[in-house]
A and B are shown apart, each in its own frame.
Chain A
Amino acid sequence: MKTILKIWMPAFAGMTMMCAHAAGENVAVNDAWIREAPPGAAVMSGYAQIANGTKGTITLTAISSDAFDKVEIHKSEINSGVARMEPLGKLDIKSRQAVTLSPYGTHLMLIRPKKPLRAGDHVTLQFTLGSGATINADAEVRKDTETESPQDHGHH
């Protein structure tokens, strides 16, 4: 039963997940979520998939949220065993491509939550594109990691 659920969950999530589109543009922010942080943590991380259905490259220039003082795009890198976060000023997404913000990779650094956020809470993230268009995406706070292990590809 658990396995069946596990296999079908992505499909189910796919049907119900929040797909936010930019007005007049074929750009979508899918499955945005925020990792619940330990109590008192000053930073949280957010993940999402951003799909560019337009004919040209789009640039994600800023992200903001009423729930946080500041949101930045960061990239986790592990070089020779050393982890380091690099702030990315902007993020380009080529035509007909999607970028997935995910654990151990490019992610949103959500700085100083204005109130404690617990799993199940929902937060609006506003993505601003180079064109000036904005996309509001609903992000759910989730407790656990769905880290994709190399053995686990079939389920995702």
Chain B
Amino acid sequence: MATLSSLEFSRTMSSLSPSTRKLLLRVAALCVIVAAIAWTMFPRNTDDLAALRIDPPQAMIDFQLTDGDNLPFTRARLLDKWSFVFFGYTHCPDVCPVTLSELAKVYQHLAQRPEGAATVQVVFVSVDPARDTPAQLKEYARYFNANFIATTGTLEQLDVLTGPLGVRHRRLTEQGAEYRVEHSADVWLIDPRGRLYARLPAPHYNEEIAKQFVALVKGAEDYR
């Protein structure tokens, strides 16, 4: 491979016409700019993982929701596994199904690892209890993966969970049954001790979530 010493480089440069030199410099400057933009667009290194992590993990107070089988869903159900928790509603045609579909791929991917599916779970929390009944939610979540858990509660019960986690949800005032609900679109990662461990920002892409998860839990003392 040909190499240029700095002397040779400056000789080569000075042998070029001024306009060619100008052009070369412009191309070089453009390359630097493009590289800088690419760097900011794809920040996928450990520094960014630190930004996702809640450090130290945030303990959660107990809460009382109802799952798709009409059984209580409490903090105890978040213990001994890593939980991916997503808040949404079934009248949401775009962001919610896309996210759950991506989480289904993440779940499938993680289930293939030696640790198996027993170490992770996906929980879909409906923040629209007026329309989403536990039975409907069960069908909805099962569609994405038979092991997905769906849960909801009254708005007061939901707030016990969403408040401390910083999950935002609000019914937008509209008449009739066709109201929209705005809701946090992040995925909350709860550790096996039932503590908020990381917050994965939307939009979600399965390969990225799986990579982030593997990297995030590597350092966790009770990873299983």
Contact = CB atoms under 8 A, between A and B. Distances in A.
Interface of A: 35, 37-45, 74, 76, 78, 81-85, 103-104, 107, 109-111, 144-145, 147, 149-152
A104 B95 contact: yes
A111 B88 CA distance: 18
A83 B139 contact: no
Q: Is the interface of B mostly helix, strand, loop or mixed?
A: mixed
B213 interface: no
B98 A37 contact: no
Contacts of A110: 93
Interface size class of chain B, counting residues whose CB lies under 8 Å from the partner chain:
35 or more
Contacts of A109: 93-94
B91 to A, nearest CB: 5
3 tightest A-B CB contacts, nearest first: A38-B143, A149-B205, A45-B93
A150 B92 contact: no
A43 B168 contact: no
B102 interface: yes
B184 A81 contact: yes
Given A85-B180, A150-B41, A151-B208, 17 more contacts: A38-B142, A39-B139, A40-B139, A41-B140, A78-B202, A81-B185, A81-B186, A82-B182, A83-B95, A83-B182, A83-B183, A84-B182, A104-B94, A107-B94, A111-B178, A145-B97, A150-B205
Contacts of B201: 81
Contact of A38 (B95, B140, B186, B206): B140
Interface in B85-128: 88, 90-95, 97-98, 101-102
Nearest to A108: B93
Contacts of B157: none
B91 A83 contact: no
Nearest to A84: B182
A74 B144 CA distance: 23
A149 to B, nearest CB: 4
Interface in B113-159: 136, 139-144
Contacts of A35: 93, 97
B62 interface: no
Nearest to B42: A150
A127 B39 CA distance: 40
Contacts of A41: 90, 93, 140
Contacts of A43: 91-93
Contacts of A83: 88, 92, 95, 182-185, 202
A30 B207 CA distance: 28
B168 A82 contact: yes
A76 B94 contact: yes
Contacts of B92: 43, 83, 85
Nearest to A150: B42
Nearest to B166: A81
5 contacts: A76-B94, A81-B186, A145-B97, A145-B98, A151-B207
A85 B143 contact: no
B203 interface: yes
Contacts of B205: 147, 149-152
Contact of B140 (A40, A78, A147, A152): A40
